[in-house]
A and B are shown apart, each in its own frame.
Chain A
Amino acid sequence: MKSLVSRLRQPAPAWLRYFGWNTDHKVIGVQYLVTTFFFFLVGGALAMVVRTELLQPGVDVVNGTQYNRVMTNHGSLMIFLWVIPVLAGFGNYFVPLMIGARDMAFPRMNALSFWLIPPGGLLMIASFFAGAAEAGWTAYVPLSIRTPDGQTLWALGVIVLGTSSILGAVNFLTTIVTMRAPGMTLWRLPLFVWGIIATSLLVLSATPVLTAGLIMVALDRLVGTQFFAVAGGGDPVLWQNLFWFYSHPAVYIMILPGMGIISEVFPVFSRKPIFGYRMIALSSLAIAVLGLTVWAHHMFTSGMDPRLRIPYMVSSMVIAVPTGVKIFSWLATIWNGKLRFTTPMLFAMGFISQFLIGGLTGIFLAAIPVDLHVHDTYFVVAHLHFVLFGGSVSAIYAGLYYWYPKITGRMYDERLGQAHFWMNFIGMSLTYLPMFLAGLQGMPRRVADYDPNFLVPNQLASFGGFLLGISVLPFLYNAFVSLRSGKEAGGNPWRALTLEWQTSSPPPQHNFEQEPVITHGPYDYGEGHLAPHPAGAPAAGE
């Protein structure tokens, strides 16, 4: 009896806290990163099914219904359970550390935001047993009213995940506004924190609208309301407005924190201050504000009032300007720098080169006459993957490698990291570039079968897709093995200036031994703020 009591009183082993309710933002951050990566793998497996089906024309592996289910859940998982929440995971772990806070403003609400994600994901995956959602991640009505019961589970899942995202945004903004360490003025905030501010503002403005729309879909399905039913005086185009009012800003929700990560990586590995700090921070806010005004560019072919198309075209094109500011500023940051090609640096450069393609092809889609040809074709599939995979996922990988030493206290294996980068980069180009051509030549998106004319681009895309699938293996192996066998990282292996590196790796429970006082900007390299490198010790990652 006694021994049982004493055994119960013993502190649980450290790793166990990652599996339960915990209010430490660093534990929650890791919970986010690991859970969302699991969903990334599930979404990726569905993509492999898609690419296998499209390896040749004809319906061979899955039929039309199954294809639509696989494709719908691939998109939904990747967006709602991977890119959006994984970036919130980085925010959780690093926002308090970067601003010199001990934790997030509302630690228990923070834990709740995370614990909404597994049930949201399980609802979505469980829908496969009730006739999974098959109307695309866009869930256009009336199709999404007529599909089997899984569609309702899907809608509930997205509502739960949206709630998680809203709670997270409230927490981030409160934390950043109220909990900055002495001397951490707004213009000394790291650019990743600026990215999180812009994203949180977008989440707060746009996510409730999607939630409202999904509730209307659920009501139409469950209790026979007629919000979207023509026969009952409803309007199918209403759903498109509600959906895109959230889902276009969602693209910026998925890219702005990623751009923040890129802005952290370039100065460190160029040993130079970021070029045009304020312009990069302001351009994030500009993208967030403009991003709320462009949604109807997804509806140029739909039943919207033709006169309204031109204002949406203009606002969509104008977003190219702040985006260009960022890209040019990053190039100027590495110009004349002393570049070190570590894995995060490679992913950051890969980000520029791939995201650029996504951004430039966005101008074709904004130009209405061209959009009326390429809308809803593989051109759009290619464009969105260059933005969300070439852009967001490259940035996420850059962040995972960059902060791996901070989170685990160990260095990852640089060779495996570089192999991962090249497989990922080549796989991505091979998968998505041919899709532009297929789309221009006449291949619609979301098809289980296609004209034999499109065989070559589809085969290239499938081989590229399989390479992308395999490219995860060196990453997973690296992440697991380096936990034990990686070299000790020390507090600041990259010799970075931002605050998260000015404490041990991993950081102690309350982040800093004593409250930091900030006296300079986050990227003031070359101005003597760092202790000289210890003589004889090689820099990490060589």
Chain B
Amino acid sequence: MKERSILLVIFAALILTAGGYLAATQLHLMPFQASTRAVEVDRLFQLLLGITAVIFLLVEGALVYAALRFRRKPGDDTDAVPVHGNNALEILWTLIPAAIVVFVGIYSVQVLQDIERPQENTLVVEVIGRQFTWEFHYPEDNVTTSELHLPVGRPVLFQITAEDVIHSFWVPEFRAKRDATPGQMAELRITPSQPGRFPIRCAELCGPGHAGMISEVVVEDQAAYDAWLAAAKTGPSDPVEIFTQFGCAACHTLAAAGSNGQVGPPLDGLAATAANRVPGLSAEEYVRQSILEPGAHVVQPFANGLMPADFGQRLTDEQLDALIEFLLAN
């Protein structure tokens, strides 16, 4: 009996060690690591995975073992040997988890300080969330765009806010997320380490178009970034780009722009409907008014007040004309 218990303990210890080690080193559950921050966060994540795997195997193993081993014999109605507790054991299983918690806590604080430490030569990007698009402003170069480009290897400080409701700026490949709250400026630091295109997702429920509030970050070498920045100073001129970058695509379906948003009215075949929509307004006048003053003539059953009313300030006259022409041509 004694020997059997000793063998059992040795066997269990081996399984737990192997399980914890394998979980910490072989279980890859996180997405691509595109920032230095991701590497550090993942190191902590893998450590937690190893520790929790040991506890998981210990508890589930004990549960299954007990279920198999301590079944009542048929016909045996007697009680088991009464044991009310064991002080040493109870102190042990209070102290060991407490020690693990202290260790994990200290390590987490270290990682937190590392990933949030200010760096030299930091690029500042202001991020503004609004239903259901992201806007990026580069104060260094005075450029405002709806796509995010970053040079690889240069530390970035995002200053994040929102105009209407709370959004949350999240790039999974950077392992970084921060809420965009109206009236507040939140900070988030990362250093992109790999070139590529990665999705930006809104992580805080922000209304009917929340699921479609997706943008993209392009991480590229300095030369490509500089070239993009120079082009971005003039803003997009291609109507499909205008349609996508200013967020029309998040809410409106339009085959020519490849969009399938459901929040606002579909725009396929707009020329025909717009011409007869409001007596006295030509199709061109109607579409122009609808962009500049979205509340003027709301299409049923879509809600009033969801479409931003500031396109008059954000679009240049050339962009607005190009957009209207494009909408009426499709």
Contact = CB atoms under 8 A, between A and B. Distances in A.
A65 B79 CA distance: 58
Given A142-B182, A369-B40, A357 B56 contact: yes
Interface in A51-108: 58-59, 63-65, 67-68
Interface stretch (A122-130, A177-185, A436-444): A436-444
Contacts of A339: 66-67, 70-72
Contacts of B72: 271, 338-340
A512 interface: no
Interface stretch (A318-326, A398-406, A410-418): A318-326
Contact of A64 (B40, B63, B262): B262
B172 A442 contact: yes
B258 to A, nearest CB: 14
A467 interface: no
Given A272-B82, A321-B97, A335-B70, A364 B212 contact: no
A307 to B, nearest CB: 11
Contacts of B30: 373, 440-441
Nearest to B100: A320
Contact of B177 (A329, A349, A376): A376
B79 A526 contact: yes
Interface in B168-204: 168, 170, 172-173, 175-179, 181-184, 186, 199, 201-204
Interface stretch (A14-22, A200-208, A229-237): A229-237
A442 B199 contact: yes
Interface string B9-49: 00000000000000000000111000000001100110010
Interface stretch (A446-454, A472-480, A502-510): A446-454
Contact of B179 (A143, A303, A332): A303
A418 B92 CA distance: 36
B232 interface: no
Given A273-B83, A338-B78, A313 B179 contact: no
Contacts of B172: 373, 441-442
Nearest to B212: A449
Nearest to A537: B77
Interface string A518-530: 0000001111001
Contact of A143 (B170, B203, B206): B206
A275 B97 contact: no
B94 A370 contact: no
A329 B30 CA distance: 34
Interface residues of B, number: 82
B59 A146 contact: no
Interface string A308-352: 011001100110110011011101101111111100000001001
Contacts of B204: 140, 376
Nearest to A283: B94
B84 interface: yes
B85 A275 contact: yes
A338 B76 contact: yes
Contact of B166 (A58, A140, A361): A140
A441 B108 contact: no
B83 A64 contact: no
Contacts of B66: 331, 334-335, 337, 339
B81 interface: yes
Categorize the interface residue count of chain A: 35 or more
B263 interface: yes
Contacts of B109: 310, 313
A272 B205 contact: no
Contact of B202 (A134, A279, A444): A444
Contact of A237 (B29, B181, B201): B181
Interface in B58-78: 59-60, 62-63, 66-67, 70-73, 76-78
Contacts of A309: 112
A277 interface: yes
Contact of B62 (A63, A64, A331, A527): A331
A119 interface: no
B83 A272 contact: yes
A493 interface: no
Contacts of B97: 320-321, 324
A336 B82 CA distance: 10
Contact of B56 (A146, A325, A360, A375): A360
Contact of A360 (B55, B80, B164, B183): B55
B59 A352 contact: yes
Interface in A341-392: 341, 349, 352-353, 356-357, 360-361, 363-364, 367-370, 372-373, 375-377
A174 interface: no
Interface string A20-59: 0000000000000000000000000000000000000011
Contact of A271 (B79, B101, B208, B263): B79
A440 B29 contact: yes
B104 A273 contact: no
A366 to B, nearest CB: 8
Contacts of A441: 29-31, 172
A276 interface: yes
A135 interface: yes
Given A235-B183, A338-B76, A444-B201, A65 B70 contact: no
A191 B211 CA distance: 44
A140 B63 contact: no
Interface string B97-129: 110010011001101100110000000000000
B271 interface: no
A516 interface: no
A230 B182 contact: yes
B80 A526 contact: yes
Contacts of A375: 177, 203
A367 B70 contact: no
Contact of A440 (B31, B55, B70): B31
Contact of A336 (B59, B60, B81): B81
A525 B44 contact: no
A327 B176 CA distance: 34
Contacts of A357: 56
Given A437-B29, A444-B203, A303 B90 contact: no
A356 to B, nearest CB: 5
Given A356-B56, A533-B77, A372 B176 contact: yes
B7 to A, nearest CB: 17
B168 A301 contact: yes
Contact of B208 (A64, A340, A353): A64
B278 to A, nearest CB: 25
The residue among B177, B209, B303 with the most chain A CB atoms within 10 A of its own CB is: B177
B175 A142 contact: no
Given A271-B72, A320-B97, A136 B205 contact: yes
Contacts of A236: 166, 181-183
Contact of B48 (A58, A270, A364, A450): A364
Contacts of A364: 45, 48, 52
A327 B48 contact: no
B324 interface: no
Interface of A: 58-59, 63-65, 67-68, 134-136, 138, 140, 142-143, 146, 230, 235-237, 270-273, 275-279, 301-303, 306, 309-310, 313-314, 317-318, 320-321, 324-325, 327-329, 331-332, 334-341, 349, 352-353, 356-357, 360-361, 363-364, 367-370, 372-373, 375-377, 436-437, 440-442, 444-451, 495, 524-527, 530, 533, 539
Considering the complex of A and B, which 8 residue pairs feature the smallest CB-CB distances, nearest first?
A: A230-B183, A442-B172, A64-B208, A526-B82, A447-B211, A526-B79, A376-B203, A338-B72
8 contacts: A136-B205, A236-B183, A275-B86, A313-B108, A325-B90, A325-B93, A336-B81, A352-B63
Given A331-B66, A338-B70, 18 more contacts: A64-B212, A236-B182, A237-B181, A272-B79, A276-B85, A310-B112, A321-B94, A321-B101, A332-B83, A332-B86, A334-B70, A335-B66, A338-B80, A372-B175, A375-B177, A376-B168, A441-B29, A442-B199
